[in-house]
Chain A
Amino acid sequence: MTRAVKPAVWLSALFVIAVAVLTPLVGSTHIDLQRAFAGESPDHEIFFYARLPRVILGLLSGAALSVTGVLFQCMLRDPLAEPYTLGVSSGASVGAVFAICLGFHSTGIASLVGAGTVLLIVLGTAVDGRRLSSFTLLLTGVTMNSICFALILFLHSVASFTQSFAISRWLMGGLDAVEYSTLGWLAAIVLVVCVAAIALAPKWNLLSIGGEWAASRGVSTTALTLAGYVGGSVLTGIVTSLTGPIGFVGLIVPHALRLRLGADHRTLLPCSMFLGAAFLTLSDTLARTVIAPAEIPVGVLTALCGGPFFLWLLKSKRQSLW
């Protein structure tokens, strides 16, 4: 709430624009932009059908995961919360693994169904009359995670050798080029939820201190918690159905930014959106180039790059009690 916050938001926005412009130019094969825009093969295909959609998917997924991380940490008053805490992504994983075991070609719809099912089960259990306590939400979500992981282990254990490989790859998570129509839908949903979340930033500030604190300052806490849970879960469910589980983005980006910028959601949410997008896209650019033509699962890189950086940040800001 200091007035010095706005430059951080603009700087992160500029940074993500730079990342969005530069990362499609980087890759294992050299391409000529003039040829790409002139529609000449193979530069055109590599740029527009391999790299660009993958970069856009990375930007949207990174933004969605880190904004969800901020919201869940705030609602649950739990610094360890992340997009995967409340069960929806493991529901998506169960759906995808089930689809692989049944021999379906595509896992997208099955994982969306899995995510939606978990969302409804958690809501049905945690909402009691007209109340929703964040503590019950946390317990329900964690329990659903355990149930889903058990189901995944079971399906994995009865799967054939090739299915088992496909399951392992899916559970590692990773970005892939997807159709532009899919990206259009994803962009619309991510932008709507992120803008709504940012618009509510003053209320997230109150809720992040406590339910009664927020209620006695004019916030309808049940409605806000419900909105945060559903909004974050829709983002996480859809992103997971497209990318599989990619860890660390939703945990580390919000924390790194809190250490630098403080806890005010009016700065934290937009910066998390921009820098989460940039972080995942940069990690994925590394993932597809470092040992090209092979690829490293991007979740491995988010943890390997982000982890040491976060440890350094913790050490350099020790006086802030984290």
Chain B
Amino acid sequence: MSFRAENLAFAYGLHEATFSLPTTGLVAIAGPNGAGKSTLLGILAGLRSPYKGSCTYDGREVRQWSRKDMALQVGFVPQSVNIEFPFTAEEVVLMGRTVRTGGWYESEHDRSAAKQAMSITDTLAFRGRDYRSLSGGEARRVILAAALAQEPHTLLLDEPATHLDLRHQLDLHRLLARLAKTMLVVAVTHDLNLALQFADQVLILENGKKVGDGRPADVVTPTMIGGVFGVRATIQMAQGRPWVAYGAESL
């Protein structure tokens, strides 16, 4: 087990959630706006405290992990990162290495890890550009590369597909599925098709409560979508895969 939560609650946005997550695999957290998804992800990342109840990572309470030890284990990709100062894309990615570098300057190994991370996120082409001049989608991929350069055992992502064009959304989903073979990837997402096709486990939150937890095919159903999101939906087969099709009108 990696994360295990029991009666986990936060001052706002999350009540009494109990669940456990595997050490590898892709876990999708879905739910309407304000359901507590980002709060939950923040608690897992060790960034929201004090929480109530219990939330352990590798058997130890998240709040007892030191920042450094946690950063060696868990990479966090926030919804957006605004930067005030003129850092280049490559500098932002190399910052992911800081916790592993130890010294003042990066080693050759740090540089190759950063280059590798930039290569698989398709960001090498603008490595020298000022982060602030990047488009929304380019910036998202740079932030993802920074988390990958950290070489974590667990990756937490908050709506990683936001701002990405179609091709990069698909690339991202394939990348997450590939990473999930050897590590735990937890993604907050609004994309139920991503959850249905790529996830190994889906958590559904509504008004801060866990209302669904299990295999995607069991959780992502027309009944759940109608009940939680208030949207009429059907599951259809397209190109040999289940596909959520939404009705034109809400319920």
Contact B88 A262, beta carbon cutoff 8 Å: yes
Using Cβ atoms and an 8 Å threshold, which residues of chain B touch A202? 98, 101, 104
Which residue of chain A lies nearest to B152 when distances are taken between CB atoms in the complex? A216
Also in contact, A209 and B81, with CB within 8 A (given A218-B67, A218-B98): yes
Check: A44 CB closer than 8 A to any chain B CB: no
The proximity string for B residues 112-154 relative to A, scoring 1 for CB distances below 8 Å and 0 otherwise, is 0000000000000000001011000000000000000010000
Also in contact, A208 and B67, with CB within 8 A (given A202-B101, A217-B150): no
Contact A216 B76, beta carbon cutoff 8 Å: yes
Using Cβ atoms and an 8 Å threshold, which residues of chain A touch B87? 205, 209, 262-264
Interface size on B, residues (CB 8 A): 36
Contact B71 A263, beta carbon cutoff 8 Å: no
Check: B55 CB closer than 8 A to any chain A CB: no
Using Cβ atoms and an 8 Å threshold, which residues of chain B touch A213? 78, 81, 95
Contact B99 A217, beta carbon cutoff 8 Å: yes
Contact B68 A321, beta carbon cutoff 8 Å: no
Tell which of B81, B86, B101, B133 touches A262, judged by Cβ atoms closer than 8 Å.
Answer: B86
Also in contact, A216 and B47, with CB within 8 A (given A1-B94, A266-B105): yes
Check: B84 CB closer than 8 A to any chain A CB: yes
The complex places the Cα of A312 from the Cα of B125 at a distance, in Å, of: 31
The complex places the Cα of A203 from the Cα of B104 at a distance, in Å, of: 10
Check: B45 CB closer than 8 A to any chain A CB: yes
Using Cβ atoms and an 8 Å threshold, which residues of chain B touch A320? 86, 130
The complex places the Cα of A2 from the Cα of B127 at a distance, in Å, of: 11
Also in contact, A218 and B95, with CB within 8 A (given A258-B85, A266-B105, A321-B133): no
Tell which of B85, B90, B96, B105 touches A217, judged by Cβ atoms closer than 8 Å.
Answer: B96
Contact B91 A264, beta carbon cutoff 8 Å: yes
Check: A194 CB closer than 8 A to any chain B CB: no
Total A-B pairs, Cβ < 8 A: 89
The complex places the Cα of A216 from the Cα of B95 at a distance, in Å, of: 11
The proximity string for A residues 84-122 relative to B, scoring 1 for CB distances below 8 Å and 0 otherwise, is 000000000000000000000000000000000000000
Using Cβ atoms and an 8 Å threshold, which residues of chain A touch B45? 216
Tell which of B76, B84, B92, B98 touches A78, judged by Cβ atoms closer than 8 Å.
Answer: B84
Check: A201 CB closer than 8 A to any chain B CB: yes
Check: B70 CB closer than 8 A to any chain A CB: yes
Check: B83 CB closer than 8 A to any chain A CB: yes
Check: B72 CB closer than 8 A to any chain A CB: yes
Also in contact, A220 and B67, with CB within 8 A (given A203-B98, A205-B98, A213-B78): yes
Contact A218 B85, beta carbon cutoff 8 Å: no
Check: A36 CB closer than 8 A to any chain B CB: no
The complex places the Cα of A205 from the Cα of B85 at a distance, in Å, of: 10
Contact B104 A216, beta carbon cutoff 8 Å: no
Using Cβ atoms and an 8 Å threshold, which residues of chain A touch B68? 218
Contact A79 B99, beta carbon cutoff 8 Å: no
Using Cβ atoms and an 8 Å threshold, which residues of chain A touch B96? 217
Check: B106 CB closer than 8 A to any chain A CB: yes
| A11 CB to nearest B CB, Å | 18
Using Cβ atoms and an 8 Å threshold, which residues of chain B touch A208? 84-85
| B158 CB to nearest A CB, Å | 11
Tell which of B46, B67, B85, B90 touches A263, judged by Cβ atoms closer than 8 Å.
Answer: B85
Contact B84 A79, beta carbon cutoff 8 Å: yes
A sample of 9 inter-chain contacts (CB < 8 A) reads A1-B94, A1-B106, A206-B95, A209-B92, A212-B76, A216-B75, A262-B87, A262-B88, A264-B87
A contact residues vs B (CB 8 Å cutoff): 1-2, 73-74, 77-79, 199, 201-203, 205-206, 208-210, 212-213, 215-220, 258-259, 262-264, 266, 320-322
Other than A201-B104, A212-B47, A266-B105, give 16 A-B pairs with Cβ distance below 8 A: A77-B84, A205-B98, A206-B95, A209-B85, A209-B95, A212-B76, A215-B47, A216-B47, A217-B96, A217-B98, A217-B150, A218-B70, A218-B99, A258-B85, A263-B85, A264-B87
